[in-house]
Amino acid sequence: MSSSTVVSAPGKVLLAGGYLVLDPTYSGVVVSTSSRFYTVVTQEHDRGNAPIQIRVRSPQFVNASWTYRVHLGDSNIHLEQLVDGSNPQTLSKNKFVQLALERTLLLALEYQGAAHLRYTLKSLEITILGDNDFYSQRAQLTARNLPSTLRSLSQLLPFLHTGVVISDVHKTGLGSSAALITSLVSALLLHLNVIPSDSFDVPDPRLGGSATASPGKKLAHNLAQYVHCLAQGKVGSGFDVSAAAFGSQLYTRFDPSVIQPLMNDDQSMNPISLKQVLSPSNSQWSYRAEAFQLPPHVRLMLADVDAGSDTPSLVGKVLKWRKERPEEAQRLWDATDALNQQFGRILLGLSDLALKYPKEYPKVIKYLSSLQSCQWLANPILPESEQRIIDSFHTVRLTAEEIRGKMREMGSASDVPIEPPEQTRLLNECVSLAGVIGGGVPGGTVPLSILSSYMRSDGLIGVFFFLPLSGDDGADDDGGGGGCSRRIRRHMAPRFRSQGLPGIRTPIDKGRRYMVDV
Ligand SMILES: Nc1ncnc2c1ncn2[C@@H]1O[C@H](COP(=O)(O)OP(=O)(O)OP(=O)(O)O)[C@@H](O)[C@H]1O
Ligand SMILES: C[C@@](O)(CCOP(=O)(O)O)CC(=O)O
């Protein structure tokens, strides 16, 4: 009988902490998105003694199918890519997918031994699907004569075919490769029983982050972090993989030296076993992912600027300046960090206030969401509880603006367009709208030419935090997390059926998630 395992992992938005988060002294405020990557692993019927093959498809792309024959030794794994039946002309490579398969199988081999893996590993069919938001949909909207609005985006079919090969797609910057790798390695670890099936359960939905994560989830995170670095050929801060594994969080990076001994493309050259390094009990993994959530009724929206940033070149320039002007940079980093910390702390505090004042909180939201933020404090005398909530939102707003100021300073000092003038104008317009708390540029920056041609429509113009007018609490799951399975049953099952795929078994992140519309 064939069986399937499905694991999803979310994308990310770095709300605060860009560039600083590359240094373990500082941390970043990271929100995981409602947009997700899904990996479906389906076991083929037993084919007797036929060689084991793994076929991976990405049905949203042209020429995106990769077939590998697995050569399983006593202590090593080799994947031989075969010419794909559906695509006999070309042998397209996917380093990310191939490394994820190879290193996950190697880890399974180390945990289970060759005899066991030979017995359990069957030929597999793997399907990878990314929510539309990971890729710019502007061309799709134009082709359909639809205006650039949220409503138009919701009219597009899920997992829409992009019409191009992967290398030509316009990514939006939500961390497609991190979400893909995390869902893929997690699905395989589960499918091969390297980790138990309850690894991704969260006992209390309010307890997210890495501290309460199961050993299985930590192993999946460590493996995904490692594979992602290897595939990218560099060790970044890793906040994207951490968000994919642990959801929204205050993230402090890991020391890259932990995976250094495993960074050989040829795994037989690695001087140490994967299991030893990636083990969830290896204390050299120094990352911290503290649970974070946006307050109830707060929603984050992103504008589709048609392309993500070329982060490595921006990072290179910013870090070069930091090295050349250490004292100036230190002052700027410290001042920005103080603001980032305050920003995260007050947002978290607002969730506490919502719990403490369940009647007053929605009342305040209704009031604030109808006003421009400059009017928030011009209110009649209110009870202390309500005033506290208003004051907190007001401080978040001021802090977000100050953070933007610091990021602009960083940009002009290092000559990197972190918040270019076009973006400044756009954001200023956004943050002056009623109900908007603040805005910013998530991650590196955005490409200018595209931004300047971006047309305002339907109120979605840039990056901002939004308090919806309705009673909707902004989370698109069933409240407080843990409802991921219900959300998936309700929303995802029909989507999967439309792709002829089975239902979902295990979502990776059951933490609270928020709608991010790109
Ligand atoms: N749907 C997919 N199916 C298979 N592979 C994919 C898919 N999406 C991304 N990839 C892999 O990820 C690689 C892109 O990785 P890259 O690091 O450039 O993206 P990223 O920086 O994560 O993108 P983003 O802009 O979303 O943050 C592709 O070359 C491909 O190997
Ligand atoms: C600039 C940086 O701090 C954030 C980059 O974010 P993004 O991948 O451009 O969304 C780099 C990093 O953290 O790896």
User: DSSP letters along 481-492, please?
Assistant: SS-HHHHIIIII
How far is the centre of ligand 2, averaged over its atoms, from the C-alpha of 154 (Å)? 28
For ligand 1, the distance from its centroid to the CA atom of residue 232, given in whole angstroms, is 10
CB of 430 closer than 6 angstroms to any ligand 1 atom: no
Q: Which ligand is nearest to the CA of 174?
A: 1
Q: Is the CB of 132 under 6 A from ligand 2?
A: no
Q: Tell whether the model's pLDDT for residue 382 goes beyond 60.
A: yes
- Does residue 136 line the site of ligand 1, with CB under 6 A? no
Q: Are residues 250 and 286 in the same domain?
A: yes
DSSP string, 377-428: T------HHHHHHHHHHHHHHHHHHHHHHHHHHHHHHHT--SS-HHHHHHHH
**Residue ending a domain, choose from 466, 490, 505:** 466
pLDDT digits (tens, 9 = 90+) for 298-314: 877 776 666 566 777 88
Q: 451 in helix, strand or coil?
A: helix
Query: Are 362 and 460 in the same domain?
Result: yes
Taking only the tens place, the pLDDT of each residue in 93-136 is: 999 999 999 999 999 999 999 999 998 899 999 999 999 888 88
Is the beta carbon of 474 within 6 A of some atom in ligand 2? no
* Confidence category of residue 455, pLDDT binned at 50, 70, 90: very low
Determine if ligand 1 sits within 6 Å of the CB of residue 243.
Answer: no
Together in a domain, 435 and 405: yes
> Residue 265: pLDDT above 90?
no
One domain, residues 79 and 22: yes
With a cut of 90, say whether residue 503 has pLDDT above it: no
Query: Does the residue 472 lie in any domain?
Result: no
Nearest CA to ligand 2 atom 8: 443
Q: Is the pLDDT of residue 346 over 90?
A: yes
Judged against a pLDDT cut of 90, whether residue 349 lies above it is answered with: yes
Same domain, 310 and 378: yes
In one-letter notation, the amino acid at residue 376 is W
- Least confident segment among 290-294, 366-370, 410-414: 366-370
User: Is 9 a residue whose pLDDT tops 60?
Assistant: yes
Residue 262 CA to ligand 1 centre (angstroms): 22
pLDDT of residue 477: 32
Asked if the structure places residue 496 within a domain, the reply is yes
Q: How far is the CA of 61 from the centre of ligand 2 (A)?
A: 26
At residue 229, the pLDDT reads 97
pLDDT digits (tens, 9 = 90+) for 215-248: 999 999 999 999 999 999 988 899 999 999 998 8
What CATH number has the domain bearing residue 34?
3.30.230.10
- The ipTM (two decimal places) reads 0.96
Binding site membership of 27 for ligand 1 (Cβ less than 6 Å): no
Q: What is the pLDDT of residue 209?
A: 84
Q: How confident is the model at residue 206 (pLDDT cuts 50, 70, 90)?
A: low
Of 156 and 288, more confident: 288
**Could you tell me if the CB of 440 is within 6 A of ligand 2?**
no
- 505 pLDDT more than 80: no
Cα–Cα distance, 20 to 333 (Å, whole number) = 7
- In terms of average pLDDT, the best of 24-38, 196-210, 444-458, 478-492 is 24-38
Q: Tell me which of 10 and 482 has the higher pLDDT.
A: 10
Q: Taking residues 249-269, what's their average pLDDT?
A: 91
Residue 394 resides in a domain: yes
CA of 121 to the centre of ligand 1 (A): 27
pLDDT score of 79 more than 90:
yes
Better pLDDT: 30 or 453: 30
- Between residues 165 and 382, which one has the greater pLDDT? 165
Domain, as residue range, for 159: 4-293+478-517
What pLDDT was estimated at residue 490?
A: 44
Rounded to whole angstroms, what are the CA distances from 353 to 19, 327, 350? Answer: 31, 39, 5
Q: Give the torsion sign (CA, 473, 478, 483, 487).
A: negative
CB 127 less than 6 A from any atom of ligand 2 = no
Please give the number of the atom of ligand 2 that sits closest to the Cα of 318.
1
Among protein residues, the one with the nearest Cα to ligand 1's atom 14 is: 177
Task: Supply the pLDDT for residue 467.
Answer: 39
Residue 285 Cβ inside 6 Å of ligand 2? The answer reads no
When comparing pLDDT for 425 and 61, which is higher? 61
Mutate to test the pocket of ligand 2, among 21, 250, 311 (most ligand atoms within 8 A of CB): 311
Question: What local confidence, expressed as pLDDT, does residue 468 receive?
Answer: 35
Same domain, 395 and 288: no
Does 27 sit in the ligand 2 pocket, CB within 6 Å? no
Name the helix (H) or strand (E) containing 67. Answer: strand 65-72
Same domain? For 36 and 83 the reply is: yes
Say yes or no: 303 and 432 in one domain.
Answer: yes
Comparing 430 with 476, which gets the higher pLDDT? 430
Task: Let me know whether 282 and 391 are in one domain.
Answer: no
Atom 4 (ligand 2) nearest CA: 443
Q: Tell me, using a 6 A CB cutoff, whether residue 53 lines ligand 1.
A: no
Query: How many angstroms separate the alpha carbon of residue 145 from the centre of ligand 1?
Result: 28
Of 466, 486, 505, the residue that ends a domain is: 466
Is any atom of ligand 2 closer than 6 Å to the C-beta of 11? no
DSSP 475: B
94 lines ligand 1 (CB under 6 A): yes
The residue whose C-alpha atom lies closest to atom 4 belonging to ligand 1 is 58
The arithmetic mean of pLDDT across residues 459-487, rounded, is 33
CA dihedral 461, 479, 175, 496 (to 10 degrees): -100
Asked if residue 482 belongs to a domain, the reply is yes
Report the nearest atom of ligand 2 relative to the CA of 445: 9
CA gap 477, 479 in Å, rounded:
6
Q: What is the pLDDT of residue 492?
A: 43
Q: Averaged over 480-498, what is the pLDDT? A: 38
The answer to whether position 41 is within a domain reads yes
DSSP string, 118-159: HHH---EEEEEEE-GGGB--HHHHHHTT--SSHHHHHHSPTT
Say yes or no: 39 and 162 in one domain.
Answer: yes
Residue 493: is its pLDDT beyond 90? no
pLDDT of residue 45: 77
| Same-domain check for residues 221 and 338 | no
How much distance in Å is there from the Cα of 176 to the middle of ligand 2?
13
Look at residue 203 in the predicted model and tell me its pLDDT: 59
What is the domain-level CATH number for residue 407? 3.30.70.890
Structure tokens at 213: 């994560």
82-86, 292-296, 505-509: lowest mean pLDDT where?
505-509
Within a domain: 122: yes
Do 270 and 286 lie in a common domain? yes
Average pLDDT, stretch 353-359?
96
Indicate the average pLDDT of the chain. 81
Token pair for residue 443?
């991650």
CA–centroid distance, residue 461 to ligand 1 (Å): 25
| 8 Å CB contact between 237 and 253 | yes
More confident residue, 463 or 392: 392
Q: Which residues, 6+ apart, have CB-to-CB distance to 86 below 8 Å?
A: 65
- Do the domain assignments include residue 473? no
pLDDT at 479: 26
Count structural domains, the chain. Answer: 2
Ligand 1 contacts CB of residue 308 (under 6 A): yes
Q: Would the pLDDT of 90 be above 70?
A: no
Q: pLDDT: is 456 or 388 the higher one?
A: 388
In a domain, 471, yes or no: no
CB 16 less than 6 A from any atom of ligand 2: no
Asked whether 170 lines ligand 1 (CB < 6 A), one says no
Q: Look at residue 250 in the predicted model and tell me its pLDDT.
A: 96
* Closest C-alpha residue for ligand 1 atom 11: 177
CA 335 to ligand 1 centroid distance, Å:
34
